[in-house]
Amino acid sequence: MPSAPRSPMAAPRSFVWSRRVFLTLLTVFVAVPVYVMLSSSLKPLQDVSGEFRWLPGDLTLSPYVDIWSTVPLGRYFVNSLIVAGAATVCSVVIAVFAAYAVSRYEFRGKRVFTVTVLSTQMFPGILFLLPLFLLYVNIGNATGVALFGSRGGLILTYLTFSLPFSIWMLIGYFASVPRELDEAALVDGCGPLGALLRVVVPAAVPGIVAVTVYAFMTAWSEVLFASVMTNDTTRTLAVGLQAYSTQNEVYWNQIMAASLVVSVPVVAGFLLLQRYLVAGLTAGAVK
Protein backbone atom coordinates (compact mmCIF):
# COMPACT_ATOMS: atom_id res chain seq x y z
CA MET A 1 0.00 0.00 0.00
CA PRO A 2 2.35 2.75 -1.07
CA SER A 3 -0.16 5.55 -0.85
CA ALA A 4 -1.84 5.13 2.49
CA PRO A 5 -4.91 7.28 2.94
CA ARG A 6 -3.98 10.64 4.40
CA SER A 7 -4.27 10.36 8.11
CA PRO A 8 -6.70 12.70 9.83
CA MET A 9 -4.02 13.31 12.43
CA ALA A 10 -0.98 14.90 10.82
CA ALA A 11 2.26 14.10 12.59
CA PRO A 12 3.41 16.91 14.89
CA ARG A 13 6.78 18.48 14.16
CA SER A 14 8.44 17.19 17.30
CA PHE A 15 7.45 13.69 16.34
CA VAL A 16 8.87 14.07 12.85
CA TRP A 17 12.13 15.44 14.21
CA SER A 18 12.58 12.79 16.83
CA ARG A 19 11.90 10.24 14.14
CA ARG A 20 14.55 11.75 11.89
CA VAL A 21 17.20 11.82 14.60
CA PHE A 22 16.44 8.32 15.81
CA LEU A 23 16.33 6.74 12.38
CA THR A 24 19.52 8.49 11.27
CA LEU A 25 21.47 7.18 14.25
CA LEU A 26 20.03 3.74 13.80
CA THR A 27 20.86 3.75 10.11
CA VAL A 28 24.48 4.55 10.92
CA PHE A 29 24.61 1.76 13.48
CA VAL A 30 23.15 -0.76 11.05
CA ALA A 31 24.94 0.38 7.94
CA VAL A 32 28.52 0.82 9.12
CA PRO A 33 29.31 -2.88 9.50
CA VAL A 34 27.64 -3.53 6.16
CA TYR A 35 29.82 -0.85 4.63
CA VAL A 36 32.90 -2.41 6.22
CA MET A 37 32.00 -5.74 4.66
CA LEU A 38 31.51 -4.17 1.27
CA SER A 39 34.70 -2.15 1.28
CA SER A 40 36.78 -5.04 2.67
CA SER A 41 35.44 -7.36 0.01
CA LEU A 42 36.89 -5.07 -2.62
CA LYS A 43 40.42 -4.93 -1.23
CA PRO A 44 43.37 -7.18 -2.02
CA LEU A 45 44.20 -9.52 0.86
CA GLN A 46 47.27 -7.66 2.04
CA ASP A 47 45.25 -4.45 2.42
CA VAL A 48 42.23 -5.85 4.19
CA SER A 49 43.62 -6.14 7.65
CA GLY A 50 45.79 -3.09 7.43
CA GLU A 51 44.93 0.04 9.33
CA PHE A 52 41.31 0.89 8.81
CA ARG A 53 40.49 3.59 6.30
CA TRP A 54 37.03 4.74 5.32
CA LEU A 55 37.96 4.85 1.67
CA PRO A 56 39.83 1.85 0.30
CA GLY A 57 43.00 2.53 -1.68
CA ASP A 58 43.35 -0.27 -4.20
CA LEU A 59 40.15 -1.78 -5.42
CA THR A 60 39.89 -5.26 -6.85
CA LEU A 61 37.11 -7.57 -7.85
CA SER A 62 39.24 -10.68 -7.60
CA PRO A 63 37.81 -11.78 -4.22
CA TYR A 64 34.47 -12.14 -5.98
CA VAL A 65 36.11 -14.46 -8.47
CA ASP A 66 38.21 -16.38 -5.97
CA ILE A 67 35.40 -17.19 -3.55
CA TRP A 68 34.09 -19.85 -5.90
CA SER A 69 37.34 -21.78 -6.11
CA THR A 70 38.56 -21.51 -2.50
CA VAL A 71 35.44 -23.17 -1.18
CA PRO A 72 32.61 -24.91 -3.09
CA LEU A 73 30.43 -21.94 -2.37
CA GLY A 74 27.86 -22.73 -5.03
CA ARG A 75 27.14 -26.14 -3.57
CA TYR A 76 26.92 -24.82 -0.02
CA PHE A 77 24.54 -22.15 -1.19
CA VAL A 78 22.26 -24.66 -2.89
CA ASN A 79 22.36 -26.88 0.20
CA SER A 80 21.42 -23.97 2.41
CA LEU A 81 18.57 -23.01 0.13
CA ILE A 82 17.19 -26.54 0.07
CA VAL A 83 17.56 -27.07 3.80
CA ALA A 84 16.27 -23.68 4.87
CA GLY A 85 13.53 -23.67 2.26
CA ALA A 86 12.17 -27.09 3.07
CA ALA A 87 12.45 -26.54 6.82
CA THR A 88 10.58 -23.27 6.47
CA VAL A 89 7.72 -24.65 4.40
CA CYS A 90 7.23 -27.66 6.64
CA SER A 91 7.54 -25.63 9.80
CA VAL A 92 5.07 -22.95 8.75
CA VAL A 93 2.49 -25.45 7.52
CA ILE A 94 2.67 -27.49 10.69
CA ALA A 95 2.62 -24.38 12.85
CA VAL A 96 -0.46 -22.99 11.09
CA PHE A 97 -2.41 -26.18 11.78
CA ALA A 98 -1.27 -26.40 15.38
CA ALA A 99 -1.92 -22.74 16.09
CA TYR A 100 -5.37 -22.98 14.57
CA ALA A 101 -6.23 -25.92 16.78
CA VAL A 102 -5.10 -24.10 19.89
CA SER A 103 -6.69 -20.79 19.08
CA ARG A 104 -10.08 -22.12 17.93
CA TYR A 105 -10.76 -25.25 19.93
CA GLU A 106 -11.16 -26.18 23.53
CA PHE A 107 -9.80 -29.64 24.11
CA ARG A 108 -8.26 -31.75 26.77
CA GLY A 109 -4.47 -31.51 26.94
CA LYS A 110 -4.27 -28.10 25.36
CA ARG A 111 -2.27 -26.64 28.17
CA VAL A 112 0.08 -29.61 28.28
CA PHE A 113 0.66 -29.26 24.59
CA THR A 114 1.47 -25.58 24.58
CA VAL A 115 3.72 -25.82 27.60
CA THR A 116 5.56 -28.84 26.20
CA VAL A 117 6.14 -27.20 22.89
CA LEU A 118 7.27 -23.96 24.43
CA SER A 119 9.62 -25.68 26.83
CA THR A 120 11.59 -27.17 23.96
CA GLN A 121 12.58 -23.64 23.06
CA MET A 122 14.72 -23.43 26.15
CA PHE A 123 16.77 -26.57 25.71
CA PRO A 124 20.39 -25.56 25.32
CA GLY A 125 21.59 -26.91 21.96
CA ILE A 126 24.82 -28.16 23.49
CA LEU A 127 22.85 -30.54 25.68
CA PHE A 128 21.12 -32.47 22.96
CA LEU A 129 23.54 -32.12 20.07
CA LEU A 130 25.30 -35.42 20.62
CA PRO A 131 22.19 -37.32 21.79
CA LEU A 132 20.34 -36.19 18.70
CA PHE A 133 23.20 -37.29 16.50
CA LEU A 134 23.15 -40.68 18.23
CA LEU A 135 19.41 -40.91 17.79
CA TYR A 136 19.67 -40.22 14.07
CA VAL A 137 22.37 -42.83 13.73
CA ASN A 138 20.18 -45.34 15.55
CA ILE A 139 17.19 -44.53 13.37
CA GLY A 140 19.44 -44.93 10.38
CA ASN A 141 20.65 -48.32 11.54
CA ALA A 142 17.16 -49.52 12.39
CA THR A 143 15.20 -48.27 9.40
CA GLY A 144 17.74 -47.43 6.74
CA VAL A 145 16.52 -43.81 6.63
CA ALA A 146 19.76 -41.89 6.62
CA LEU A 147 19.20 -38.83 8.78
CA PHE A 148 22.70 -37.98 9.92
CA GLY A 149 24.85 -36.34 7.33
CA SER A 150 21.85 -35.87 5.06
CA ARG A 151 19.88 -32.78 4.27
CA GLY A 152 16.76 -34.55 5.52
CA GLY A 153 18.13 -34.82 9.03
CA LEU A 154 19.06 -31.17 9.05
CA ILE A 155 15.65 -30.14 7.71
CA LEU A 156 13.96 -32.15 10.42
CA THR A 157 16.15 -30.61 13.09
CA TYR A 158 15.74 -27.04 11.96
CA LEU A 159 12.01 -27.23 11.49
CA THR A 160 11.64 -28.22 15.11
CA PHE A 161 13.85 -25.31 16.12
CA SER A 162 11.45 -22.81 14.64
CA LEU A 163 8.18 -24.63 15.40
CA PRO A 164 7.62 -23.64 19.03
CA PHE A 165 8.01 -19.94 18.47
CA SER A 166 6.08 -20.07 15.21
CA ILE A 167 3.16 -21.79 16.90
CA TRP A 168 3.11 -19.34 19.75
CA MET A 169 3.29 -16.33 17.51
CA LEU A 170 0.57 -17.66 15.24
CA ILE A 171 -1.71 -18.39 18.18
CA GLY A 172 -1.42 -14.72 19.00
CA TYR A 173 -2.08 -13.61 15.44
CA PHE A 174 -4.97 -15.99 14.93
CA ALA A 175 -6.52 -14.89 18.20
CA SER A 176 -6.62 -11.35 16.89
CA VAL A 177 -8.61 -12.45 13.84
CA PRO A 178 -12.23 -11.90 14.89
CA ARG A 179 -13.91 -15.19 15.46
CA GLU A 180 -17.05 -13.92 13.77
CA LEU A 181 -15.19 -14.24 10.48
CA ASP A 182 -14.64 -17.97 10.59
CA GLU A 183 -18.04 -18.54 12.05
CA ALA A 184 -19.50 -16.74 9.09
CA ALA A 185 -17.47 -19.00 6.85
CA LEU A 186 -18.79 -22.04 8.71
CA VAL A 187 -22.29 -20.82 8.13
CA ASP A 188 -21.46 -20.40 4.47
CA GLY A 189 -20.71 -24.10 4.36
CA CYS A 190 -16.97 -24.24 4.72
CA GLY A 191 -15.49 -26.91 6.96
CA PRO A 192 -13.26 -25.84 9.79
CA LEU A 193 -10.21 -26.24 7.56
CA GLY A 194 -11.89 -24.33 4.82
CA ALA A 195 -12.43 -21.56 7.32
CA LEU A 196 -8.78 -21.76 8.28
CA LEU A 197 -7.45 -21.64 4.74
CA ARG A 198 -9.94 -19.17 3.28
CA VAL A 199 -10.45 -16.80 6.17
CA VAL A 200 -7.99 -17.06 9.01
CA VAL A 201 -4.80 -17.55 7.01
CA PRO A 202 -5.46 -14.67 4.60
CA ALA A 203 -6.29 -12.43 7.52
CA ALA A 204 -3.13 -13.35 9.38
CA VAL A 205 -0.75 -12.95 6.44
CA PRO A 206 1.60 -10.48 8.17
CA GLY A 207 2.07 -12.87 11.06
CA ILE A 208 2.61 -15.81 8.75
CA VAL A 209 5.14 -13.88 6.74
CA ALA A 210 7.00 -12.83 9.87
CA VAL A 211 7.05 -16.42 11.05
CA THR A 212 8.23 -17.58 7.63
CA VAL A 213 11.10 -15.17 7.66
CA TYR A 214 11.96 -16.28 11.16
CA ALA A 215 11.87 -19.98 10.29
CA PHE A 216 14.01 -19.38 7.26
CA MET A 217 16.64 -17.41 9.11
CA THR A 218 16.79 -19.91 11.94
CA ALA A 219 17.73 -22.60 9.46
CA TRP A 220 19.89 -20.31 7.37
CA SER A 221 22.16 -19.23 10.20
CA GLU A 222 22.51 -22.28 12.40
CA VAL A 223 26.12 -23.32 12.92
CA LEU A 224 26.52 -25.79 15.75
CA PHE A 225 24.31 -28.63 14.54
CA ALA A 226 25.29 -28.14 10.93
CA SER A 227 28.95 -28.47 11.77
CA VAL A 228 28.44 -31.94 13.22
CA MET A 229 25.55 -33.22 11.11
CA THR A 230 26.73 -32.44 7.60
CA ASN A 231 29.48 -33.71 5.40
CA ASP A 232 31.16 -32.20 2.41
CA THR A 233 28.25 -32.82 0.04
CA THR A 234 25.55 -31.55 2.40
CA ARG A 235 27.40 -28.75 4.19
CA THR A 236 25.45 -25.52 4.53
CA LEU A 237 26.68 -21.98 4.08
CA ALA A 238 26.60 -21.03 7.72
CA VAL A 239 29.33 -23.59 8.36
CA GLY A 240 30.91 -23.50 4.94
CA LEU A 241 31.88 -19.85 5.25
CA GLN A 242 34.25 -20.78 8.04
CA ALA A 243 36.35 -22.67 5.54
CA TYR A 244 37.67 -19.32 4.28
CA SER A 245 39.69 -19.26 7.42
CA THR A 246 42.27 -22.01 7.06
CA GLN A 247 45.05 -23.13 9.36
CA ASN A 248 47.53 -20.56 8.14
CA GLU A 249 45.44 -18.01 6.38
CA VAL A 250 42.26 -16.06 6.91
CA TYR A 251 40.86 -14.85 3.61
CA TRP A 252 39.08 -11.84 5.10
CA ASN A 253 38.21 -10.26 1.78
CA GLN A 254 36.74 -13.51 0.49
CA ILE A 255 34.72 -14.07 3.66
CA MET A 256 33.17 -10.65 3.21
CA ALA A 257 32.64 -11.07 -0.52
CA ALA A 258 31.05 -14.50 -0.09
CA SER A 259 28.82 -13.28 2.72
CA LEU A 260 27.57 -10.43 0.62
CA VAL A 261 27.00 -12.59 -2.43
CA VAL A 262 24.96 -15.14 -0.53
CA SER A 263 23.03 -12.49 1.37
CA VAL A 264 21.84 -10.63 -1.70
CA PRO A 265 19.16 -13.19 -2.61
CA VAL A 266 18.00 -13.38 0.99
CA VAL A 267 17.70 -9.64 1.39
CA ALA A 268 15.96 -9.43 -1.98
CA GLY A 269 13.51 -12.07 -0.78
CA PHE A 270 12.87 -10.08 2.37
CA LEU A 271 12.21 -6.97 0.36
CA LEU A 272 9.73 -8.82 -1.81
CA LEU A 273 7.97 -10.21 1.22
CA GLN A 274 7.83 -7.02 3.18
CA ARG A 275 4.81 -5.63 1.42
CA TYR A 276 2.84 -8.58 2.75
CA LEU A 277 4.02 -7.67 6.19
CA VAL A 278 2.11 -4.43 5.96
CA ALA A 279 -0.84 -5.63 3.95
CA GLY A 280 -3.12 -8.16 5.55
CA LEU A 281 -5.62 -6.92 8.06
CA THR A 282 -5.24 -3.25 7.32
CA ALA A 283 -5.86 -3.99 3.67
CA GLY A 284 -9.47 -4.46 4.58
CA ALA A 285 -9.97 -8.15 5.19
CA VAL A 286 -11.84 -7.28 8.35
CA LYS A 287 -14.76 -5.13 7.55
Partner 1 sequence: MRRIRAAAAGAVTVSLLAAVSACGGGSASGGGSGDSPKKLTYWASNQGPSVEADKKILSAEIAKFEKETGIDVELEVVPWSDLLNRILAATTSGQGPDVLNIGNTWSASLQATGALLPWDDANFEKIGGRDRFVESAIASAGAEGKDPAAVPLYSMAYTLYWNKKMFADAGITKPPATWDEMAEIGKKISGDGKWALGAEGSNLSENIHHVFTFGQQHGTNFFTPDGKPDFTSDAAVDAVKSYVDLMAEHKIIAPGNAEYAQNQSLQDFAKNKTAMVMWQNAQTAFASHGMKDDDWGVAPIPVRSGDPGSGTGVNSMVAGINMAVFKNTDNLDGSLKFVKFMTSDAEQKALNTAYGSIPPVKAAQEDRAFDSPALRIVRDTLANSAAPLPQVPAESQFETAVGTAVKELFAEAAAGKPVSKDLVREKLAKAQQQMPQG
Partner 2 sequence: MTATLAPPQGKRAAPGAARTPRRPGRLRRAWLPYLLLVPALALELLVHLVPMVYGLLMSFKELTQFYIRDWTTAPWKGLDNYRVAVDFDTPVGAALLHSFWVTCLFTALSVGLCWLLGTTTAVYLQESFRGRGLLRGLFLIPYALPMYAAVITWTFMFQRDNGLVNHVLVDQLGLFDEPPFWLLGDNSFWALLVVSVWKGWPFAFLIVMAGLQTVPRELYEAAALDGAGRWQQLRRITLPSLSSVNQVLVLVLFLWTFNDFNTPFVLFGKSAPQAADLVSIHIYQASFVTWNFGTGSAMSVLLLLFLLVVTAVYLLITSRGRRSAGA
- Kindly state whether residue 122 participates in binding partner 2, applying the rule CB under 8 A: yes
Residue 18 C-beta: closest distance to partner 1, Å: 38
**Residue from 63, 153, 206, 207 binding partner 1 (CB under 8 A):** 153
For residue 284, CA distances in Å to 101, 187, 281 come to: 25, 21, 6
- The residue among 148 and 173 lying less far from partner 1, judged by its C-beta, is 148
- Kindly state whether residue 34 participates in binding partner 2, applying the rule CB under 8 A: yes
Residue 240 C-beta: closest distance to partner 1, Å: 8
Using CA atoms, how far apart are residues 210 and 276, in angstroms rounded to an integer?
Answer: 9
Binding at 55: pick from partner 2, partner 1, none (beta carbon under 5-8 Å per type): none
The answer to whether 147 and 136 are in contact (CB under 8 A) is: yes
Site for partner 1 in 243-282 (CB under 8 A): 243-251
- Kindly state whether residue 50 participates in binding partner 1, applying the rule CB under 8 A: yes
Using CA atoms, how far apart are residues 55 and 35, in angstroms rounded to an integer?
Answer: 10
Site for partner 2 in 210-269 (CB under 8 A): 210, 213-214, 217, 220-224, 237-239, 241-242, 252, 255-256, 258-259, 262-263, 266-267
- Kindly state whether residue 195 participates in binding partner 2, applying the rule CB under 8 A: no
Site for partner 2 in 49-78 (CB under 8 A): 49-52
Query: Considering all CA atoms of the chain, what is the largest pairwise distance in Å, rounded to the nearest integer?
Result: 71
149: phi then psi, degrees, rounded to nearest 5 = 75, -10
Q: Total residues at the site for partner 1 (CB under 8 A)?
A: 59
Binding at 67: pick from partner 1, partner 2, none (beta carbon under 5-8 Å per type): none
HEC secondary structure over the chain:
CCCCCCCCCCCCHHHHHHHHHHHHHHHHHHHHHHHHHHHHHCCCHHHHCCCCCCCCCCCCCHHHHHHHHHCCHHHHHHHHHHHHHHHHHHHHHHHHHHHHHHHHCCCCCHHHHHHHHHHHCCCCHHHHHHHHHHHHHHHHHHHCCCCCECHHHHHHHHHHHHHHHHHHHHHHHHHCCCHHHHHHHHHCCCCHHHHHHHHHHHHCHHHHHHHHHHHHHHHHHCCHHHHHHECCCCCCHHHHHHHHECCCCECHHHHHHHHHHHHHHHHHHHHHHHHHHHCHHHHCCCC
**Residue from 130, 184, 267, 268 binding partner 1 (CB under 8 A):** 130
From 17-25, 55-63, 64-72, give the range in contact with partner 2 by CB under 8 A: 17-25
- Kindly state whether residue 63 participates in binding partner 1, applying the rule CB under 8 A: no
Residue 103 C-beta: closest distance to partner 1, Å: 16
- Kindly state whether residue 123 participates in binding partner 2, applying the rule CB under 8 A: yes
Binding at 13: pick from partner 2, partner 1, none (beta carbon under 5-8 Å per type): none
- Kindly state whether residue 228 participates in binding partner 1, applying the rule CB under 8 A: yes
- Kindly state whether residue 162 participates in binding partner 1, applying the rule CB under 8 A: no
Site residues (vs partner 1, CB under 8 A): 44-46, 49-50, 69-72, 79, 82, 86, 89-90, 93-94, 97, 130, 133-134, 137, 140-141, 145-156, 159, 189-191, 193-194, 227-228, 230-234, 239, 242-251
